[in-house]
Structure 1
Amino acid sequence: MDAFYASVEQRDNPELRGKPVAVGGSAARGVVAAASYEARAFGVRSALPSVTAKRRCPQLIFVTPRFEVYRAVSAQIREIFAEHTDLIEPLSLDEAYLDVTENKQGIAIATKIATIIRARIKDVTGLNASAGISYCKFLAKMASDLNKPNGQAVITPRMGPGFVEALAVKKFHGVGPATAAKMERLGILTGADLKARSLPFLQEHFGKSGAWYYQIARGIDERAVQPDRPRKSVGAEDTFDADIVDLDAARTELTPLVAKIWRHCAAKQLRARTVTLKVKYSDFEQITRSRTVAELIPSAEEVEAMARGLLDPLFPVEKGIRLLGVTLSSFSDEHDAVEEQLRLKL
């Protein structure tokens, strides 16, 4: 979807149309969750601190997120996908992979399917979507950004290797700023540079990811579309109106975060073994602390106790805390938990 959250807000509020809009944060605190294309023209993007966004675009309009609305629209879009295939792998509320090799309507050309889906999304939701069509997930993702907004692009098997060779590694999906900087220090600036490095070289410098980089440098990605891709983590975070310097105040802020993620996990019948605490300081330095236990965490109270155990050693703080977050991971579902308990009792 194109600028999904911001586009929904502009759709629902005509006064926002054609104006630079940022969803999330505020003029003084927080970060941008999504930016309209009008805002992007000023360099405003997701994850940008709100104060920086406002500096770049003084006329920027901040809108409070409405995630229940975004989820409802996302569900409408998933129903449209399901008209064509059951092989749907959601990545987020506004993005998914579809395998249409065999599709319900028997359409032989994938580009035609993409055109039909985008038109249906526009008819049903009033929103624009872009699509990338290719023979593997990596290149489909890269293609989806080529003709945004409201467009689509194709990377064929013949085009794939050459496309990757010409692409800057910092633009590779899945290569973050830190990895891109490391590659550049090694003289790897483009896909061609990456392709020229041997598998042992890449494994030496990038560990398990080395084999992945070796493959995608050649336009090879054999990952299947996984319609039942398991959720790897559930988290919640909050940016505060004023920086926190007191331990008791920080502990208090953990309670609603834990309650929120516990409700979500309970509804999805998920149980976790790992608790991760995220802390962002007033100067935007960010740290995480994690703890994993052998057995599934039994209650929200225990999650909060573990989170406090990660938080307490950080105090006293030398600088204020502007954001706290809590994440649960290492999941097993409730059925697995019951089976595990029965085995232990027997």
Structure 2
Amino acid sequence: MRIAIATDAWFPQINGVVRTLDKTISLLKEWGHEVLCINPGLFRSVPMPTYPDIPLALFPYARVKEMLDAFQPDAIHLSTEGPIGWAGRRYCLRHNHPYTTTYHTRFPEYVRLRAPIPLSLSYAFVRAFHNKATLTMVATGSMKKTLESHGFKNLEYWTRGVDIEHFVPIDQPVLDLPHPIALYLGRVAVEKNITDFLDLKMPGSKVVIGDGPALESLQQRYPQAHFLGYRKNGDLTRLLASADVMVFPSRTDTFGLVMLEAMACGVPVATYPVEGPLDVIKNGINGWMDEDLPTAVTRALEVDRNSCRQFAEGYSWEACTRQFLTLIQSNLSDPVVESAPAEKRL
């Protein structure tokens, strides 16, 4: 099967969207599918306003059309609502080619935090992008209900996965800090609501792992916290597994892959009861949700670490990718190939 995926989020960015697409594309290729990934690295670009680490492709339509014409995909999936995504949408509508999309990011809320633009206007923009698709994939049931309330149609569930071979518990913690160690992992940006974490009045230590446009200002504002910057591979796993609790203060994420990564390391998660965590966190099993974040942290610290690991083992990238493949195949006029080799099935 020939699958074209258009995305405005790609390496060197490191976030949940990029990790999801990277794992999905790798498995699709391993299973024998041909995949074209149309990404910002193939275009001239400019830095995104207020977020210079994110490149935005300049006038991508002609190049997008050239690549899709040459590739002749069976399926086209548009992953983001940026210039490349809109160019892909334009191509599909002009050529009467069905396409699918994913709602990865709460774009209206992100914009509202940076500029005085009404949510209704931003939602109208995003809805126009997705509602022309044959279906839009969302990561959780609670997010599906929220989008339906905003007039989105043809929504289908596409879960996420975690690499349980890479994210594992460790015997010897590497963070030599006073306990309990509360850790935030992710993009350091205003939409992540990190100040709610850093403002917590609690004993022990606070650690922030990640990079982003708010890093320097938060370092200056919270000198008592430990900002470790961006980490990867085994270094990240060892640091994450050394924490006593991971605090996920975001109210705008559609899922939050870092929660699964923390659980795979045996670390419980403290968070708000909002879209994303509502479908992932089970109080007393893998963390704690509460509108009072200090309470969530206190209760999460009591959760058994083995229980967190067992919960994470129920998620796999193979199952996630198989679900994605089933969804895009359901929109083809002619059935194409088996979704995955028999030995890969769960």
Larger RCO, structures 1/2 (Cα 8 Å, 6+ apart): 2
Q: Which structure's CA Rg is the greater one?
A: 1
TM score, norm. by length of structure 2? 0.26
TM score, norm. by length of structure 1? 0.26
